[in-house]
Chain A
């Protein structure tokens, strides 16, 4: 399905947040995931189902002051 991930339209086969992170090769430990402006808690990654056209933001920590 087509998702907008971090501003880019991408084709993903993942059905859940956990699968999407795996597909993108992202370690879920230190990220936060937002789907359509709502934060998905880490405990829900396995069960939270994505749907066509969802806007996904995956953020983590970078250097800052």
Chain B
């Protein structure tokens, strides 16, 4: 029994709504310079889950996203990006489920065009409805611990607080709130949005977050493939440091070398 527990711990698999995720780095598929570059970045990131948007089919397009994403290798997580009302978000979520034949949904109900901050009132309502319809709801939310709790009450399978505005690269602006969210909810916490570079991802994971979702930070880097690999290491380092247990912070020094045996 003990051995079994040990093995599970070592594998460190993340489970959300009964779905297993082997990677704690989740990657978005938007804003790459080409599909080919995106595919190489996904490969370098080591991820097993990618987010996608639901949009009208372009009848004239010669190639499409799914030609570059192997569904056997990557779980496809549709989002409701661009939706400003509950009704719109529900419509996109249901279309995404029909297209992908999976109950996973990254739920966004946006409240403001400039900041892309979530409309948490709409988000709560949409979470409740979709959870009742059998969706595994993963809401993109504020770094507000009370809202996070309400989302869990409404049926969210995890919560996805923003580190900073989408695409801003400002990092984890309020690590203390993220920490409080981690202590407030009994579902996985995935930092979504704001991660600009490797250290941001590490900070999120060191706090104890279960995963990090990155799109712009990788896609718009000068070298997205190299950044994807950097993010892979950053997430692993942060996770390992969290599990290893950091030392407490102290104001004054404590010597690492003994005083005993010093020459008089």
Contacts and interface: CB of A to CB of B under 8 A. Distances in A.
B95 A34 contact: yes
Contacts of A32: 54, 95-99
Instruction: Sort chain B's interface into a size bin.
Output: 35 or more
B31 A63 contact: yes
B99 A61 contact: yes
A26 interface: yes
Interface stretch (B75-83, B130-138, B230-238): B75-83
A63 B56 contact: no
Interface residues of A, number: 23
Contacts of A65: 28-31, 51, 53, 79, 81, 166-167, 193, 213, 215-216
B31 A59 contact: no
Contacts of A58: 56-57
A61 to B, nearest CB: 4
Nearest to B29: A63
Interface string B22-36: 000000111110000
A63 B81 CA distance: 11
B56 A57 contact: yes
Interface of A: 6-7, 24-26, 30-34, 37, 39, 41-42, 57-65
Contacts of B55: 59-62
7 contacts: A7-B56, A25-B59, A32-B54, A59-B56, A61-B55, A61-B66, A63-B28
B64 interface: yes
Interface in B127-156: none
Given A31-B99, A32-B98, A61 B78 contact: yes
Contacts of A63: 28-32, 38, 52-53, 65
A64 B30 contact: yes
Contact of B56 (A6, A30, A41): A6
A30 B66 contact: yes
A38 to B, nearest CB: 10
A25 to B, nearest CB: 8
Contacts of A6: 56-57, 59
Contact of B53 (A25, A37, A61): A61
A48 to B, nearest CB: 13
Interface string B61-94: 0001110000000001011010000000001001
